[in-house]
Each structure stands twice: as C-alpha cells, then as structure tokens.
Amino acid sequence: MYYYLSKFLGPILNPTNFLFIILIILFISYLRSKRKVILKILSLNILLIIIIAFFPIGYLGLKYLEKDFIIKKEYKNIKNILVLSGANERIIASITLAYQYPEAKVFYVGGNAYLVKSNDNDDPTIAKKFYNDLNFDMDRINFIGKSRNTIENFKEIKELNLEYSETVLITSAYHMKRSMLIAEKQGVKVLPYPVNTISTSKTPLLNSYQVFDIVNNLSKFNTFLREILGIIAFKITRYT
C-alpha cells in the first residue's frame, strides 16, 4: 500500500511541484480573502522559488552528498559488479570494470517503478538493449528485475549470497550515501564505485552562469532534497 500511495502522491510531493501547488493555493486564497497574512506567506513562497531557481542550491547540495565518494578507489580481485538501475553512465562504468576484471560477473539490479507496467518500459529491458548495442558479452550479465526502489534492490542483492568483499557497487555519487546506508542495514558490505560525480567539476562560477538554466537548478534541487528526505526517512525507521 505504501508503494502505490507514494507513486500517486509522488508528483505532488516533488519539492518544486509542491512549492508551485502551494503558490497556486495561496494565490487563490488571497484573491478570495485579501488577508495580509496570506500575502506575506505568498511572498515568502515566491522568494523561496526564486532562490532555488536562480542560485545553485541543488548543485551545492549534491556536492555535499558526494563528498565522501569523490575519488574512485582502485580495487583488486573483483569478482562481482553490482549496477543499480538508472543513468546510462552506470552501465558504461560496469562495462569498463568488466573489461578490467574479465572474470567478474555483472549484476544489473532494477525493475519497473511504474504503476502501469509494460514490457518495454522496465529498466532491465532498456539496459539489455544498451549492453547489446555496445556489443558486450551478454552471458556475463545477470538481470535482477523485480525490485522497484533502493531498499528492494538490496533485499534482492542479499539473496544472491555474493562474496561482498569482492563486490563493487555502481551508482550515482549523490545516491551512494543512501545506498551504502541501506546496504549496511541489509548486511551487504559492498565496495562503492560512484559515477556521475559533479564534485570534481572545476568550472568557474562565472562560466557556469553562461549556461544558466532555471530548469536545471530546480531539477538538481529536487534530486538533492529527495535524497536528503530518503536518508532522513531511512534513519528514522532504522532506529524505531
């Protein structure tokens, strides 16, 4: 029930969606009542949206999440490569590691998070096509395709009974902190291998504003806040 409820409420609880929904509600309320207190709250809401949209709050937040996973470590004797479904950079990294460790097996872990499912919109199907297009040896890949979120990912990973000291985990750097926390709770002590790291970017602030993008700022803020809320929720349920 929690899974389906979260999927229905997800668009509403999306941080920037939520702010704009509140903005509309406040605006309608003010038109109807003309109360000054509503106007003040409305102004604060608009100011918050402007700050998030025009300043790199999300970017700095993602850098904070990545700070413990900036540098990829060199590992030896890797036999298992776990790939959490998501960005194609994760797949590319898994192929790079697979060539570096020719005896290692690749486990692509993901499923279909959509409420209405089809055979062509699940992560494993898309990933299979991507691996195949890159001419990777498909016999080396195991597709674990029943999980719908990170917690379910690691429940399935635990059932694999791998030698975790010889297993690397590939996911986005900003997602690694939460992934490692969940892995630890599940008793899965894997080796982190982060990708999509933005913290190593040396782009001067002035140059970054040459490609200034409000939508990108809002998107990064959404990603950061969802990760923070996920970590907080995990820690609350972990100790209750």
Closest CA to 141 of 96, 112, 106, 184: 106
Residue 108: the pLDDT is 95
Residue 210: the pLDDT is 63
Delineate the domains of the chain, giving CATH numbers in brackets.
1-54 (no CATH), 72-195 (3.40.50.620)
Identity of the amino acid at 156: E
Query: Which portions of the chain are predicted below pLDDT 70?
Result: 1-13, 112-121, 199-211, 238-240
Residue 152: the pLDDT is 86
CA-CA distance, 135 to 137, in Å (whole number)? Answer: 7
Residue 143: the pLDDT is 92
Handedness of CA 203, 84, 124, 133 (dihedral sign): positive
Query: Tokens standing for 127?
Result: 């990933």
Identity of the amino acid at 181: L
Residues 174 and 62: beta-carbon distance below 8 Å: yes
Residue 163: the pLDDT is 87
CA-CA distance, 202 to 233, in Å (whole number)? Answer: 33
For residue 39, the SS3 value is helix
Would you say the pTM of this structure is higher than 0.85? no
Question: pLDDT, tens digit, for every residue of 104-130?
Answer: 999 999 876 555 555 566 788 889 999
Residue 202: the pLDDT is 60
